[in-house]
Structure 1
Amino acid sequence: MRLRRSDKYREPHKLNMPAMIDIVMLLLIFFMCTSNFVQPENRMQAALSRVEQGVGQQEYMDSVEIELISEADQLRIFCDGTLCDGWAGLRENLRIRREISDMDVIVRGGAGVPFENMVKAVDISHLLGFSKVGFSAKGPGE
């Protein structure tokens, strides 16, 4: 004969809340210690390395040079020495050159040019299909 346990003597299941609170606090401390608080890119200062004339430079024969110059709070955009009519003019010049071939694109930023403008020039180049795009920095008075 089998004995049956009576259900009226069973204790209901309970959650151990103090242990759960301890685990949540440990996870919170772990994630706070291991997370990175990164400054957004558009607020970072552009600290690009400079190369002396003739030392370590390559000759870019099949390249497009985009030069950004900031004068009197106005941005001037040059594409291979030709003044562009804003971002739309740059886009048009790059589109014409892209039809010729996939050239290297060099973005040169003068002193005082916000880094976000240099990134915008790189983005336009990538959107038009250029695969090799690079930065170059200029110091004051160059």
Structure 2
Amino acid sequence: MPLKTHNEEAPALNLTPMIDILFLLIIFFMVGSKFTEMERSVDLDVPQVSDMGALTAAPEKKVINIFRDGRVMLGTQEVNLEDLKAHLAASQAEYRDLGVLVRGDSDVPFQQVATVLTTVRQAGIAEMAISVRLSNERR
């Protein structure tokens, strides 16, 4: 049986990479704090405002209903195509991202729906949607 005559050395832990990272972090935070000090030293008196939120709330989409007898309603008000275009153009001037939802009766010819969509587009509104109802049938 062989006897050990020398002692094995314990494994050494290399701390060099950890010390390098520590020094890099110290340098990073020192440079970052210098920038904030320079910002504080600028002699500028900024105005104060109260936190009131947005100036105006985003409006909901305008709903246009087209009935089978040819009537067109904007919300609860019956309008013709010229009035519809004028009202939507005025609303779009107040809020640029105004959207419109067009709901046509299922018996209305698609030409009338297309005419209303063209009128909406002429009013300058880009966000348009058509409302449909999903049937229970599956193919």
* TM-score (norm: length of structure 1): 0.48
Q: Which structure is larger by alpha-carbon Rg, 1 or 2?
A: 2
More strand by share: 1
